[in-house]
Amino acid sequence: MNLSAAASATTVIDSLLFRDAFGTPQMRSIFSDRTTIERYVEVEVALAKAEAACGVIPADAAAAIAAHARAADFDADLLKQETDNVGYPVLPVVHQMARQCGEAGRYVHWGATTQDIMDTAVVLQIRAALDLVAADVDELRRILGDLARRYRDTPMAGRTHLQQALPITFGYKAAVWRTMLDRHAQRLAQLRPRVLVVQFAGAAGTLASLRGHGLAVQKALAGELALAVPSAAWHVARDAFAETVNVLALVTGSLGKIALDVMLMMQNEIAEAFEPFAPGRGGSSTMPQKRNPISSELILAASKAVRQHAGLMLDAMVQDFERATGPWHAEWIAIPESFVLTAGALRQAKTMLGGLVVDEARMRENLNLTHGLVVAEAVMMGLAPHLGRQRAHDVVYGACRTVGERGGTLADVLAGMPDVTAHLDRVAIDRLTDPANYLGIAPETVDRVLGA
C-alpha cells in the first residue's frame, strides 16, 4: 500500500503507523463503525422479537424485520449525512431498516428511545471486549507465574527510593506483579453482572408508550440478548460504565508499573532484565548501540491515556435530570479508546514478559555492589540480642560509614570492630553479610501467590 492509498486516520487508535502498537485488530473490530452499526441493528431486531412475543407488535412484522434488516446493505454515505444532521446515529439506522423491511418497517424501534439502542449496543460491545481483556489477563498471569516459579530463589537487590534496600528474589518481584493481575481477574469477573444489563426504558425511563407491556418487553429483550434486567432505567445512572473504564485504568496502571520496573532494569547501569531481542527493535536512528524498551514505553503511554479516560468517565457521571445534555457523549470517546488502548497494552505486556531476558549473574553482581551494605540490617539484627537494638544499630551504622568513606567490605570492617567480634566470629559475620542468607519470606511468598 502506498501513502496515497492509506487511510486518513489522525489518531494512534486507527493510524496505519501506530494502530497495532497501541491496539489490536480484534479490539478495534469490536468498536469499529461496522460492528457498532451491526449492534444497533441486532438490538432493534431483538426488540421486535421481544415485542412480538409479548403481543405488542404482530409476529409476522417481527419475522420480516429479522429477515430483511441488514446492516451490510446500508447506504453508508446517507447514514453519515443523516447522523451529522440528527446528531445521533440511531434514527438514520431506523430509517434504513424501515425501508429494508417494507410494510413491517413501521414497527421498527417501537416504544424505544435512541439511548436505549445505543446503550444496549455498547453493553454488547463491552461484553465482547471484556472477554478479550480477561483472556489476556489470564495469559499474563500464566506468564508471570512461570517467571515467579523459575526465579523463585534468584537473589537480587530490592530497591526503595531508587536505592538498594534489602535482598529479594526476582521470583518475588514477579509474584508481586502477578498478584495485581490476579486481583484484576477478580474485578473483571465481578464487574460483568453490574454492566451486562439491558437498557430499555423509553424517553424518560417509564416505558409509558408500551401501555402496560413495558416490563414484559424489557425482560424479553434482555432474554433475546442474554443480558440482565435492570431494576430501573440507567439512562443517567452511569456508574457501571464508569466502573468499567476505571477497571481498565487499574489494569493498565499495573501494566505501567511493571513496564517502569523493566525500563529501569534495562538501564546500562543496572542491566538485570531486558525486553526480548529482535533485529532492529528498539534501535536508534543515530546510535547503533541502543536497545530501547519499546514495549514498556508503549505500555506506559497507554496506561496514562486510559487513566485520563477514567477521569473523564467519572466526570460524565454527573448528568442532569432523566436524560443528559452532553456528558453521555463523552462516553463515546472514552469507552472505545480505553478498550483499544488496554488491549494494546496487554499485547505489549505479553510480548515483553513472555520473552523477558533475565541476567541472574548481573543481579548477583549488583547485589554485591555495595560490598555488603545491602544487608546491614541483617548484621544489626544479629548483634541486637547481644547489644540491644539501638546500640547494634549505632555500631553497624558506624561500620557502614567506614565502608562508604574508606572502602573495603562490610564484613572486613566488622571483623575489625571489638564490639562486634566480642559476640560474632568471622564465620558468623560472613554468614550475616551474604545477601543470599537474608531473603526472608521472598521464596515462600512465591509459593503462596502461586498456590492461591
Q: Is the Cβ–Cβ distance between 26 and 346 less than 8 Å? A: no
Within 8 A by CB and 6+ apart from 341, the residues are 13, 22, 23, 252, 302, 305, 306, 309
Within 8 A by CB and 6+ apart from 408, the residues are 371, 402
β-sheet bridge partners, residue 158: 166
Burial of residue 23 (number of CB atoms within 10 Å: 0-12, 13-18, 19+): buried
Please name which of 435, 406, 411, 353 lies closest in space to residue 164, comparing C-alpha atoms: 435
Q: Is the Cβ–Cβ distance between 189 and 134 less than 8 Å? A: yes
Please name which of 307, 313, 376 lies closest in space to residue 342, comparing C-alpha atoms: 307
Please name which of 216, 211, 352, 226 lies closest in space to residue 278, comparing C-alpha atoms: 352
Instruction: Given the residues 161, 209, 338, 371, select the one marked as catalytic.
Output: 161
- DSSP, collapsed to helix, strand or coil, labels residue 108 as coil
Please name which of 88, 80, 84, 139 lies closest in space to residue 116, comparing C-alpha atoms: 88
Angle between helices 114-150 and 327-354 (to 10 degrees): 20
Instruction: Given the residues 29, 284, 329, 386, select the one marked as catalytic.
Output: 284
For residue 170, CA distances in Å to 158, 225, 227, 350 come to 9, 46, 43, 18
Active site residue 161: yes
Cell digits of residue 236: 443517567
Please name which of 445, 452, 448, 389 lies closest in space to residue 172, comparing C-alpha atoms: 445
In one letter, which amino acid is 358?
Answer: V
Q: Is the Cβ–Cβ distance between 387 and 393 less than 8 Å? A: no
Distance CA 239, CA 197 (A): 12
Active site residue 184: no
List active site positions: 161, 284
